[in-house]
Amino acid sequence: MYSSEENAVTARPAGRSALRMGPAELVQAAAMARRFYLEGKSKIQIAEEFGVSRFKVARVLETALERDLVRIEIRVPAELDAERSDALRARFGLRHAVVVESPADADESPDPENLGEVAADLLGELVAEGDVLGLAWGRSTIHMAAALDRLPPCTVVQLTGVYDAGTAERGSVEAVRRAAQVSGGEAHPIYAPMLLPDPATAAALRHQTGIARAFEYFDKVTVACVSIGSWETGISTVHDMLTDEERAHYASLGVAAEMSAHLFDTDGRRVGRDLGERCITVEADRLRRIPEVVAIAGGQRKAEAIGAVLRSGLVTSLVTDTAAADLLLGADPGPRPALERADPDD
């Protein structure tokens, strides 16, 4: 949905080398190129039609390209950067990487809203009928859910608590409901804060009926959508929920990124695991077992955090922007491709 391919075939004496072909050769080359590139016929079928060998067809097609008789154009929508997308996918060993052009008037704010729109289109491709879609808290996932206009019938489950219980209806709970409405499937929201005062309170909430029911679906999730935060004010909801003393403590452990209340250093290793005991969130080991985990994050200020999470082995695909992609393409991808799902702590 977010990419298309257009092949344009022309026959013309373009340049000195093309003029060396006679008119009959030009016409035949153009006809063979049209059959192959536009009509999708095989070289054997073309050979049979023109009464020549398939080897001659191959030579004619090769000559047509060399002499500029054939031009192949691959076009994607202007807001997508196909070259950076492919380079980023290859560099980090991802299944999918989609890079969106950063807005010309963008400031240093992370996660432009158009990331959510492209991610919505990507989910429309990745989710199949009968899948279980998991959505974690995050501004980018909320934007994504708002932009959804198609999903096959699937169950939608919330993977984390909310940033603020008072805004649940306008945040991740609404995102889960929106996705379920578009797909026509069941919704399993979590009406609880992401961060609790202590592990005992968090454990008690996990056993409440509605929350426990959502947790039962975690092992069934086939596609998940998550956000990434840098460890600084306004760029990580978890960072903003903690006290100054707690922020300083986790910063001293080398935190570079946060995803679904899990903290990572620059190498993708998990740090500050005690924080997870106070949180309502999907466990890292469960995330690692989900076949497709799509992260949505962009902006220069998030580039280091995105790289850290990619090295963690928890993410298989990424939707980002050119501002972050340019920095990521110059960064160390880590010792293993993301698709290996390897735990850097092991």
Segments forming the whole domain that contains residue 152? 80-330
- Considering the domain architecture, whether residues 204 and 110 belong to the same structural domain is answered as yes
- Considering the domain architecture, whether residues 145 and 28 belong to the same structural domain is answered as no
Q: Are 268 and 336 in contact (CB under 8 A)?
A: no
Pairing relation of β-strands 257-259 and 229-230? antiparallel
Cβ neighbors of 110 (< 8 A, separation 6 or more) are 230, 235, 297, 298, 299, 301, 302
Q: Are 270 and 284 in contact (CB under 8 A)?
A: yes
| CA 185 – CA 155 distance, rounded (Å) | 5
Read off φ and ψ for residue 209, nearest 5 degrees: -50, -55
Task: Tell me which of 67, 101, 123 is where a domain ends.
Answer: 67
Q: Is residue 12 part of a domain?
A: no
- Considering the domain architecture, whether residues 54 and 125 belong to the same structural domain is answered as no
Q: Which two tokens stand for residue 199?
A: 């592990």
Q: What does DSSP assign to residue 292?
A: E
- Considering the domain architecture, whether residues 133 and 51 belong to the same structural domain is answered as no
- Considering the domain architecture, whether residues 224 and 309 belong to the same structural domain is answered as yes
- Considering the domain architecture, whether residues 244 and 163 belong to the same structural domain is answered as yes
| CA 307 – CA 315 distance, rounded (Å) | 11
- From the list 61, 112, 64, 74, the residue with the least C-alpha distance to 302 is 112
Q: Is residue 7 part of a domain?
A: no
| CA 49 – CA 51 distance, rounded (Å) | 6
DSSP string spanning 209-250? HHHHHHHHTGGG-SEEEEE-EESSTTT-HHHHHS-HHHHHHH
- Considering the domain architecture, whether residues 30 and 130 belong to the same structural domain is answered as no
- Considering the domain architecture, whether residues 58 and 152 belong to the same structural domain is answered as no
What region does 341 belong to: left with phi over 0, alpha with psi -120 to 50, or beta? left
The CATH number of residue 240's host domain is 3.40.50.1360
Kindly report the length of the chain. Answer: 346
SS3 60: helix
Task: Tell me which of 10, 38, 67 is where a domain ends.
Answer: 67
The CATH number of residue 37's host domain is 1.10.10
Task: Tell me which of 67, 99, 128 is where a domain ends.
Answer: 67
- Considering the domain architecture, whether residues 110 and 194 belong to the same structural domain is answered as yes
- Considering the domain architecture, whether residues 217 and 160 belong to the same structural domain is answered as yes
Number of domains comprising the chain: 2
Global confidence as pTM: 0.77
Per-residue pLDDT of the chain (346 residues; tens, 9 = 90+): 444 334 444 444 334 344 466 677 888 888 899 899 888 899 999 999 989 999 999 999 988 888 888 877 666 565 788 889 999 999 999 999 999 988 765 555 566 778 988 999 999 999 999 999 999 988 888 889 999 999 999 999 999 998 754 444 456 788 999 999 999 999 999 988 999 999 999 999 999 998 999 999 999 999 999 999 999 887 888 888 899 999 999 999 999 999 999 999 999 999 999 999 999 999 999 999 999 999 999 999 999 999 999 999 999 999 999 999 999 999 999 999 999 999 998 8
Q: Is residue 339 part of a domain?
A: no
State the pLDDT at residue 20: 63
- From the list 224, 248, 234, 235, the residue with the least C-alpha distance to 303 is 235
State the pLDDT at residue 1: 43
Cβ neighbors of 301 (< 8 A, separation 6 or more) are 108, 110, 230, 232, 235
Name the helix (H) or strand (E) containing 43.
Answer: helix 43-50
Q: Is residue 34 part of a domain?
A: yes
The full 3-state SS of 112-179, as one line of letters, equals CCHHHHHHHHHHHHHCCCCCEEEECCCHHHHHHHHHCCCCCCCEEEECECECCHHHHHHCHHHHHHHH
Q: Which two tokens stand for residue 94?
A: 């991802």
Q: Is residue 340 part of a domain?
A: no
Q: Are 268 and 311 in contact (CB under 8 A)?
A: yes
Q: Is residue 336 part of a domain?
A: no
Q: Is residue 15 part of a domain?
A: no
- From the list 314, 294, 306, 313, the residue with the least C-alpha distance to 330 is 306
Q: Is residue 154 part of a domain?
A: yes
- Considering the domain architecture, whether residues 92 and 133 belong to the same structural domain is answered as yes
* C-alpha angle 63-64-69 in degrees, rounded to nearest 5: 145
| CA 36 – CA 48 distance, rounded (Å) | 13
- Considering the domain architecture, whether residues 63 and 85 belong to the same structural domain is answered as no
SS3 57: helix
For residue 31, the Cα-to-chain-centroid distance in whole angstroms is: 40
